[in-house]
Amino acid sequence: MGEQIKADICVIGAGSGGLTVAAAAAAFGEQVVLLEKGQMGGDCLNTGCVPSKALIATAHHADSMRKANLFGISSVEPRVDFQAVHDHIHSVIGAIAPNDSVERFEGLGVRVIQQAGHFSDPRTVVTADGMYEIKARAFVIATGSSAAIPPIEGMDRVSYLTNETIFSLTERPKHLVIIGGGPIGVELAQAHRRLGAEVTILEAYGILSREDPELSCVVIDQLKREGITLNEGVTIERIEPAEDREATPHGGTIHFSRSSEAGAKSGSDFVEATHILVATGRRANVTGLGLEAAGIRHDERGIQVKPTMKTSNRRVYAIGDVAGGMQFTHVAGYHAGLVVRNILFKLGAKENPHIVPRVTFTAPELAHVGYGEKEARQKFRQVRVLRWPFAENDRAQAERETVGFIKVITNKKGVVLGASVVGKNAGEIINMWSLIVSQKMNIKAITGYVSPYPTLSEVGRRAAISAYADLPSKPGIRKIISLLKFLG
């Protein structure tokens, strides 16, 4: 039997959610044990958000060089040193890593054990090497997710890339073929295209199919203009390895068919890839956790949780990707806050998925919070849709970023139900609307604040003001004005 540890809270997984719980609980004087079998910081720091945004930033600068003539500066085709791009990405990871390090968390009073852990019974977690047996008042599972690999014939014969491996490349792909047209797929597609790679996307359904088509089509049109080949409604039949596996270890020939609008296959086609990237979604990391021994219910989506993030075992909570909901770093942080309040203060805090924003970091960016138009029309009897284009924004004109618009949904009383933005800095603009939606504010309040000029965020205020654009033409309003004028 290994060392027996008694703690207030045992956290399994040191990604963004697990680290937030550990740091917050330790700050309140709780005894916390944190288990992590891999890298501290999890997917977000090492293979997800941080490296992808570092790559996107590089691609943005390359694209700016090509468009410099719009501002009276000679345009040039950038010379891309992909080894230097790789080094930039990993230097960004390195700069952030100390915030998530073992040393920092041990300094906060957290006991960090760099081992996998599994439940041996409903109240006990044992490390993989059997060295430690941990009993705690509460457990938090924050093991995240991994790339989901579709069952395609021949997939096991090629060395395909995922988000966990693509950022290790030191040479630019000649032809990157991406299987999957969701946010991860399109972000990496545009970034690599702007860095000089040929890029093809193969998508079983529609590109960015989760998003409002009125907004996603703006992004899709831009991807096409930049020379990315988009194939929608695709069924991949098989993958054959490249003839020269040593020279093209990540490549192969992908055979696929397209479906017609009626659903019938329209013939087979193929594409030669020097690099294959699989971006077909993610699966919750539940294997090896001993969930059955702990009496924790789960399914193919992940661990089943209540709105309080509590599992079927009253001592165990699950947060982030492993909880089977929205797979974003900020969701894991949101869940962590709920769990800390529930474990430490017994507040019964519950998740509200409608206040959680999401952003696709393409150019233009696409951001959303709350109800979309289709969902709002189904749920509420009457809704109002307000829009304002970037082309009518002075800052957008000055920066030549006039593509895009904001779309705000309100109920009949003017309460803001949701907002979507496609355009430059949409991810920043959506912040204010996330607050508005979370606080159930009325559109009238948005017309009353003062927005600094000139800023892109003004598009939101102008959309709000448009809710009252018909007032001057109303006879009743004109009569009131006339009466007030008569009264002096």
**386-412 pLDDT, tens per residue?**
999 999 999 999 999 999 999 999 999
pLDDT band at 444; cut points 50, 70, 90: very high
pLDDT of residue 204: 96
pLDDT band at 481; cut points 50, 70, 90: confident
Q: What's the mean per-residue pLDDT of the chain?
A: 96
Residues 319-349 pLDDT 10s: 999 999 999 999 999 999 999 999 999 999 9
pLDDT band at 470; cut points 50, 70, 90: confident
Q: pTM of this prediction?
A: 0.95
Lowest mean pLDDT among 33-37, 330-334, 475-479: 475-479
Q: Is the dihedral of CA 216, 219, 222, 224 positive or negative?
A: negative
Average pLDDT over residues 307-316: 98
pLDDT of residue 11: 98
Residue 487 pLDDT exceeds 90: no
Residue ranges per domain, the chain? 3-40+101-147+283-351, 155-278, 355-472
Percent with pLDDT over 70 in the chain: 98
Average pLDDT over residues 204-226: 97
Average pLDDT over residues 167-190: 98
Q: How far is CA 409 from CA 124, 367, 381, 431, 467, in A?
A: 48, 14, 13, 16, 11
pLDDT of residue 433: 98
Residue 155 pLDDT exceeds 90: yes
pLDDT of residue 259: 79
Shared fold status for 155-278 and 355-472: no
pLDDT of residue 474: 79
Kindly report the CATH number that applies to the domain delimited by 3-40+101-147+283-351.
3.50.50.60
Q: Judge whether 374 and 409 are in contact, CB under 8 Å.
A: no
pLDDT of residue 57: 98
Residue 262 pLDDT exceeds 60: no
Question: CATH second-level architecture of 155-278?
Answer: 3-Layer(bba) Sandwich (3.50)
Structure tokens given for 388: 């304002």
pLDDT of residue 265: 66
Residue 37 pLDDT exceeds 60: yes
pLDDT band at 263; cut points 50, 70, 90: low
Q: Judge whether 254 and 273 are in contact, CB under 8 Å.
A: yes
Q: Which residues contact 305 (CB under 8 A, 6 or more apart)?
A: 311, 317, 318, 323, 324
* Number of other residues whose CB lies within 10 A of the CB of residue 463: 24
- Among residues 252, 240, 257, the alpha carbon closest in space to that of 277 is found at 252
Please tell me the distance from the alpha carbon of residue 298 to that of residue 288, in angstroms, as a whole number: 13
The residue assigned the tokens 């949701």 is 418
pLDDT of residue 484: 80
Residues 79-110 pLDDT 10s: 999 999 999 999 999 999 999 999 999 999 99
Residues pairing with 145 in the sheet: 284
State the fold for domain 355-472.
Enolase-like; domain 1 (3.30.390)
pLDDT of residue 102: 98
pLDDT of residue 243: 86
pLDDT of residue 469: 85
